[in-house]
Structure 1
């Protein structure tokens, strides 16, 4: 089946559209990457989204506008991916949508909201669309995140030792396969979220992120600020757990800075970069990870990757590219896989990773004109995932 996976993460800078041929044979999902395109949100839409996210207030009118405009933007990305990567033969679109709120209190998730009306995608592409992946897991008592856990476990299965997958988006999440305690997946805390917010705040807006880690490389870690940031109680919660920009936004940085006085912008960025590296390493250490396979936008930041290597203290750190999974597109491919599982009636979660009462088939289906060709009813077992070169 030819599937387009659509993803926009907590950095909300662009929509990733990754296309793949996915086949299920004898319990093995074979994923052949067809390529990735990126569609940036236009500045007006990105500003409207930023202005509606916590801690800002919003209105139902704004929510309706965003749901429509984001859906249209996702539809445009899907049309382009179908045309450029699939030769117009995509059968299914799996759309994560844009997370705008993840309602977490007291260690539990009570609700989650992703915008990007899938009807626009189905209408524009003619494809069946799977969307709204997270709410079913939340309704079953799970965290609703990170949903890449099952894909990571299938993909890393068979590697020696205790491999861990790390995604460095706005929020960092890990999946650890094997080990004495069994599989686990959770959000460790901020990856790029606080760095991006501080760059915008401290530079007055010209830069949206720390390009090539240059600002962090030019600064020094400020120990008192780092200690204040590390005092955040979230880091000490046991997994499974999830978080987002509802907690890790610019006010989080402002409050920490208020206790240490003014600092050079480069020192603030260096400290926030080290915070990401430290909290990831602290989360992985007790789980006995023997290798870390990283993906996401943070892998393009050499200062962050260097800090991670230092904090991991000898545990090998590599990118998913080395294992055949494009680091920039891994989450989009993961949702392509989850969409494939959904239309085949197969569960997309691991209860041990999300905390749900049981595995669940995820998402809602919006029919399109093109009916996807499904695997035979006998193919109801998924044991592993392999990435196959075309």
Structure 2
């Protein structure tokens, strides 16, 4: 069978950089062939973070950053193809999620913004680009996120075992994959976002490697309970979130100013754990296996705390199922691009709350 090459590009709310994957989507299951990572520099990260909040001349800033991101995405694509030895003309399409800077799915004012000048990315790469994956689902009354549960279903559903897939990126989201019945998925709380922001502010490091700083602190129970009163945690699914919900201003509004920074970090790690564990226990008590992906899956303290919070269940990384936890989300956007190119709806209404199945993404032909 001739290879069907697709590229997936993902830059998430953690604002750490661009994950690029080359996939062959002709076989079943699909094959993840090559990966490439392009980190963001501090200046770009700061500019993108600033766009999450209203400011002067933000339309111009957003347009300029969209152009800059297109150039960075094209650089990641070039690096990926150079290392894999695949020519651009052999790639069917690039699935580019873009960089989310606003996500407001609430009824009555619903919209979502992912920055990327997709037309410029086509010109720079010479490859058809599929972008803007969330807007159609939101137009149909959905949350526009999470989008990857459909791909989790394709890859990981087991005929006898109820599995959950938990992606711990900037935001945590989970996918329920029962042997029979409906696939369900939703955002469940902050993943790395709050820990990374607090770590950068107090240590200058962009993340807390293996939770070592959090390990040096102690959970502040009163603060944890206060953070958990945020209405998002009690909302039923479908639901999704971003920096509009979880940010330093929200955290600092809950602090007295007397807390030790390491204790706050330990508390934020436990917030991420409970944001995942509580919906697992509430909605999916029969789930026997939980598989983790995303950057937070590499935080050994976080993984250990999840195993403690979810006793009696197998908690492993998706690596154990043959898909590297660091690359699963970018892999999903390669698959989502293929669905669009082939005219196949890719949202799951039970996940997003949309009125029905919809074709996701806009095609920019080469």
TM-score normalised by L of structure 2: 0.94
Shift of 1:159: 4.5
Shift of 1:160: 2.8
Shift of 1:179: 7.4
CA deviation vs aligned residue, 1:182-239 (integer Å, no higher than 9, x gap): 3211000101011011112223xx2111122110111111111111111111011000
SS in 2 for 1:160: coil
- Structure 2 matches for 1:315-354, cutoff 5 A? 315-354=313-352
CA contact (8 A) 1:215 1:269 kept: yes
SS in 1 for 2:105: strand
CA contact (8 A) 1:3 1:90 kept: yes
What does residue 43 of structure 2 align with?
44
What does residue 366 of structure 1 align with?
364
SS in 1 for 2:67: helix
Mapped partners of 2:243, 2:293: distance in 1: 20
What does residue 30 of structure 1 align with?
29
Shift of 1:119: 1.6
Structure 1: runs of 5+ lacking an equivalent: 369-390
What does residue 226 of structure 1 align with?
224
What does residue 101 of structure 2 align with?
100
SS in 2 for 1:39: strand
What does residue 182 of structure 1 align with?
182
Shifted more, 131-140 versus 53-62: the winner is 53-62
Shift of 1:173: 0.3
What does residue 133 of structure 1 align with?
133
Shifted more, 9-18 versus 45-54: the winner is 45-54
Find the partner of 1:264 among 260, 266, 271.
260
CA deviation vs aligned residue, 1:25-44 (integer Å, no higher than 9, x gap): xxxx4311112111112332
CA contact (8 A) 1:97 1:131 kept: yes
CA contact (8 A) 1:109 1:142 kept: no
Shifted more, 242-251 versus 284-293: the winner is 284-293
SS in 1 for 2:50: helix
Q: Say yes or no: does 1:115 pair with 2:115.
A: yes
What does residue 170 of structure 2 align with?
170
Find the partner of 1:308 among 306, 309, 321.
306
What does residue 211 of structure 1 align with?
209
CA deviation vs aligned residue, 1:244-289 (integer Å, no higher than 9, x gap): 111101112101113xx41211111111001100110001112222
SS in 1 for 2:241: coil
CA contact (8 A) 1:19 1:86 kept: no
> CA RMSD of the aligned region, Å?
1.7
Mapped partners of 1:210, 1:159: distance in 2: 38
What does residue 12 of structure 2 align with?
9
What does residue 278 of structure 1 align with?
274
Mapped partners of 2:276, 2:181: distance in 1: 18
CA contact (8 A) 2:8 2:333 kept: yes
Mapped partners of 2:236, 2:126: distance in 1: 43
SS in 1 for 2:326: helix
| Structure-2 change in CA distance of 1:243 and 1:86 (3 Å) | farther
Mapped partners of 2:333, 2:157: distance in 1: 19
Find the partner of 1:21 among 24, 45, 55.
24
Mapped partners of 1:55, 1:159: distance in 2: 48
Shift of 1:155: 1.7
Shifted more, 44-53 versus 216-225: the winner is 44-53
TM-score normalised by L of structure 1: 0.88
| Structure-2 change in CA distance of 1:159 and 1:262 (3 Å) | farther
Mapped partners of 1:57, 1:307: distance in 2: 42
CA contact (8 A) 1:20 1:336 kept: yes
SS in 2 for 1:72: helix
Mapped partners of 2:247, 2:54: distance in 1: 8
| Structure-2 change in CA distance of 1:294 and 1:367 (3 Å) | same
CA contact (8 A) 2:6 2:25 kept: yes
CA contact (8 A) 2:158 2:179 kept: no
Shift of 1:75: 1.3
